[in-house]
Amino acid sequence: MMENSTQPVTKLSDLAAVLLEKLKAAQTNITLDFDDVAVTGPGPLGQPGQWKLNGKLTLTTKSTGPNLS
């Protein structure tokens, strides 16, 4: 697991696994730094499009009750 890691993630599947694990926690903060990342994904009208990411994305979860896992 890449807990509190600053090492780059090179595979999208690794990033997804880390995010899902962290978001299961009762309370967590995740900050992702992107430096000129280009990803091909769904675009307008279902045609392939390119998404460009540059900057920070912060995800925060907070428990609102008993563990619902």
Q: What angle do CA 48, 23, 59 make, to 5 degrees?
A: 65
Q: How many helices (H) and strands (E) does the chain have?
A: 1, 2
Q: What is the pLDDT of residues 15-68, one digit of tens each?
A: 778 777 777 777 778 788 888 888 888 888 888 888 888 999 887 877 666 655
**Domain limits for position 19:** 12-62
Three-state secondary structure call for residue 9: coil
Structural domain includes residue 39: yes
What's the pLDDT at 68? 53
Structural domain includes residue 34: yes
Structural domain includes residue 4: no
What's the pLDDT at 17? 80
Domain total in the chain: 1
Structural domain includes residue 1: no
Structural domain includes residue 30: yes
Structural domain includes residue 57: yes
